[in-house]
């Protein structure tokens, strides 16, 4: 996610400083080059040696000392593509908001021209204090990015909002801030996961969809600056940060939510594995077993994408097809019949593709008849490849004035 990116990590003097060590590891694992700057107080919680070992680089703590010689605040400004301040204490937030620059970290914040992400972590009462809130607001207005702290048990013994956000979330935000915002202005509606079609209060019909492809699409679109609504059937994945998640169970509920959000959307990507049929009758009580067989009558669910196709106007509509035979012919026929701009076709016979896997191997069939076969890739990479096609279509339409 962060291959080759140069990140300056500012660590302030709060108990969450120990978590900054894990953050350093994660940033490095994602491919970033990390330079750590610590305040004097931070070095009382965790030694610079810890960060030196983890980052593989000398840690900077002093504007005037030896370490400030080759990498001072000016050099850091030229070096950094992103600065993360984690934990950001009330003191550092206040200093940055008021233009105080009295140590290497605060002078660096003032010199940088790259995005700066503050990750506040402090006692809940401190965080809620109107002064800290005002300062955070001031930072946001000045173009700094601020990640809300998480709620939970705090090291000081109280419970409330003030915990350093999850490391994975900080890394996700870092990736977003370092990505080109080439989908800014798009409002993308993604559907994901299976649907559940109940026939009594405890049983339902469903399929093996894990939601991974749709969730990867939502995360990738958000990272590239789009506003994202994710209408999802029941899955075990957490919704990606910054995405509006709308959870549904049945195909009919999914239909309703998709139609509700259609008006505001500019792009619709239907990655959900919608059940084509539902039990015709839903028993109020649990169905008891009998000696004979149980016959369930099934009736058709609404075809969501076909309905979107009819109402889409100039929106871009992308569908998925999962086939076990005649992949290209069947997928192309679905695309035409349902008014899609392009379709992403999965071959059920391919190793590592389709439901449950972290990878996918797809063919992208465009409305103009062109077909592209992508190699086996991580679902996040497939998501970016799909979004690249969306971007290309948008560019072509703008050029043609439609």
Residue numbers of the site for ligand CTP (CB under 6 A)?
251, 270, 272, 274, 276, 301, 303-305, 319-322, 334
Outline where DSSP puts E strands in 1-88.
6-11, 33-38, 82-88
Least Cβ distance, residue 198 to ligand CTP (angstroms): 16
φ, ψ of residue 314 in degrees (nearest 5): -100, 20
What is the rounded distance in angstroms from the CA atom of residue 177 to the CA atom of residue 384?
16
Which of 187/338 has CB closer to ligand CTP?
A: 338
What is the rounded distance in angstroms from the CA atom of residue 290 to the CA atom of residue 29?
57
Rounded (5°) CA angle 226-227-233: 115
Which of 174/251 has CB closer to ligand CTP?
A: 251
Going by C-alpha positions, the residue among 198, 196, 121 that lies closest to residue 160 is: 121
What is the rounded distance in angstroms from the CA atom of residue 390 to the CA atom of residue 85?
34
Which of 226/231 has CB closer to ligand CTP?
A: 231
Rounded (5°) CA angle 84-86-92: 95
Which of 27/228 has CB closer to ligand CTP?
A: 228
Least Cβ distance, residue 383 to ligand CTP (angstroms): 15
Rounded to the nearest 5 percent, the helix, strand and coil shares of the chain are 35, 25, 40
What is the rounded distance in angstroms from the CA atom of residue 384 to the CA atom of residue 381?
5
Which of 87/233 has CB closer to ligand CTP?
A: 233
Q: Determine how β-strand 82-88 pairs with β-strand 6-11.
A: parallel
Least Cβ distance, residue 293 to ligand CTP (angstroms): 25
Is the bond preceding 98 in cis, omega lying within 30 degrees of 0?
A: no
Least Cβ distance, residue 15 to ligand CTP (angstroms): 47
Which of 169/308 has CB closer to ligand CTP?
A: 308
Taking CA atoms, 196 is separated from 204, 212, 232, 322, in Å, by: 6, 17, 11, 18
Catalytic residue ranges: 156
Least Cβ distance, residue 296 to ligand CTP (angstroms): 18
Q: Do residues 178 and 216 make contact, with C-beta atoms less than 8 angstroms apart?
A: no
Rounded (5°) CA angle 341-239-25: 110
Least Cβ distance, residue 224 to ligand CTP (angstroms): 21
Which of 240/319 has CB closer to ligand CTP?
A: 319
What is the rounded distance in angstroms from the CA atom of residue 230 to the CA atom of residue 269?
10
Q: Do residues 9 and 104 make contact, with C-beta atoms less than 8 angstroms apart?
A: no
Strands lying side by side in the sheet with 82-88:
33-38, 6-11, 82-88, 116-120, 145-146
Least Cβ distance, residue 205 to ligand CTP (angstroms): 13
Least Cβ distance, residue 375 to ligand CTP (angstroms): 22
What is the rounded distance in angstroms from the CA atom of residue 187 to the CA atom of residue 255?
18
- φ/ψ region of 157 (left if φ > 0, alpha if ψ in -120 to 50, else beta) reads left
What is the rounded distance in angstroms from the CA atom of residue 156 to the CA atom of residue 154?
5
Which of 106/301 has CB closer to ligand CTP?
A: 301
């Amino acid at each position: 996610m962060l291959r080759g990116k140069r990140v300056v990590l500012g660590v302030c003097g709060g108990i969450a400083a120990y978590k900054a060590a894990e953050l350093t590891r994660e940033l490095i694992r994602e491919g970033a080059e990390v330079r750590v700057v610590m305040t004097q107080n931070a070095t009382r919680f965790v030694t610079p040696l810890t960060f030196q070992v983890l980052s593989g680089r000398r840690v900077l703590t002093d504007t005037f000392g030896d370490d400030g010689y080759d990498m001072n605040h000016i050099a850091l400004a030229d070096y950094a593509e992103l600065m993360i301040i984690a934990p950001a204490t009330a003191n550092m937030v206040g200093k940055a908001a008021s233009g105080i620059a009295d140590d290497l970290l605060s002078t660096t914040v003032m010199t940088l021209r790259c995005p700066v992400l503050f990750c506040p972590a402090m006692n809940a009462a401190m965080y809620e204090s109107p002064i800290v809130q005002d300062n955070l607001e001031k930072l946001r207005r000045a173009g700094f990015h601020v990640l809300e702290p998480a709620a939970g048990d705090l090291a000081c013994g109280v419970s409330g909002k003030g915990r350093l956000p999850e490391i994975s979330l900080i890394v996700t935000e870092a990736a977003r801030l370092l990505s080109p915002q080439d989908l800014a202005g798009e409002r993308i509606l993604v559907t994901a996961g299976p649907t559940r079609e109940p026939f009594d209060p405890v049983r339902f019909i469903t399929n093996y969809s894990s939601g991974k492809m749709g969730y990867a699409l939502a995360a990738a679109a958000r990272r590239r600056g789009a506003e994202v609504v994710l209408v999802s059937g029941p899955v075990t994945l957490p919704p990606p940060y910054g995405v509006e998640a709308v959870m549904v169970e049945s195909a009919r509920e999914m239909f309703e939510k998709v139609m509700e959000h259609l008006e505001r959307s500019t792009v619709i990507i239907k990655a959900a594995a919608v059940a084509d049929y539902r039990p015709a009758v839903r028993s109020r009580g649990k169905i008891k077993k009998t000696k004979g067989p149980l016959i369930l009558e099934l009736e058709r669910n609404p075809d969501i994408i076909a309905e979107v196709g009819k109402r889409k106007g100039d929106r871009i509509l992308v569908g998925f097809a999962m086939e076990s035979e005649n992949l290209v012919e069947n997928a192309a026929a679905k695309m035409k019949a349902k008014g899609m701009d392009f379709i992403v076709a999965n071959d059920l016979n391919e190793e590592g593709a389709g439901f449950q896997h972290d990878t996918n191997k797809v063919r992208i069939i465009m409305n103009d008849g062109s077909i592209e076969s992508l190699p086996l890739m991580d679902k996040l990479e497939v998501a970016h490849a799909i979004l690249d096609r969306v971007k290309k279509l948008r560019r072509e339409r703008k050029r043609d004035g439609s």
